Amino acid sequence: MKYCIRCGSTILDEAVICPYCGCAQGTQKREGTNGMAIAGFVCSFLIPLLGLIFGGIGLKTANKTGNGRGLSIAGIIISIFSMAVYFIMLLVIMFA
């Protein structure tokens, strides 16, 4: 049993429309996880450039589906941070 999202009546789990108020039950079907956002987040630590690309695509997807927005942004920020760290390390190695 579940409850109608509008009137709160007890309705069947599989009910699409509430028999009491006729309100369509928003099937809270999640659009799946945002794979690009996850890829961007993971790559941001290892391959920042890929992390930035995947994070960007993930963010675009997130704007459409609403999934993985935070993860995409985190991936982009970490990518930029990682790139800065790698760049500084490169400079240190070259000029040390």
Minimum CB separation of residue 4 from Zn ion in Å reads 3
Q: Measured from the CB atom, is 6 or 69 closer to Zn ion?
A: 6
Residue whose pair of structure tokens reads 């630590």 in the numeric block:
45
Residue 3 Ramachandran class (φ > 0 left, ψ -120 to 50 alpha, else beta): beta
Cα–Cα distance, 83 to 77 (Å, whole number):
10
Query: Which residue type, as a one-letter code, is found at position 6?
Result: R
Minimum CB separation of residue 20 from Zn ion in Å reads 5
To 10 degrees, what angle do helices 35-46 and 69-95 make? 20
Q: Measured from the CB atom, is 15 or 50 closer to Zn ion?
A: 15
Minimum CB separation of residue 27 from Zn ion in Å reads 15
Contact residues toward Zn ion (CB under 5 A) are 4, 6-7, 9, 18, 20-21, 23
Q: Measured from the CB atom, is 2 or 60 closer to Zn ion?
A: 2
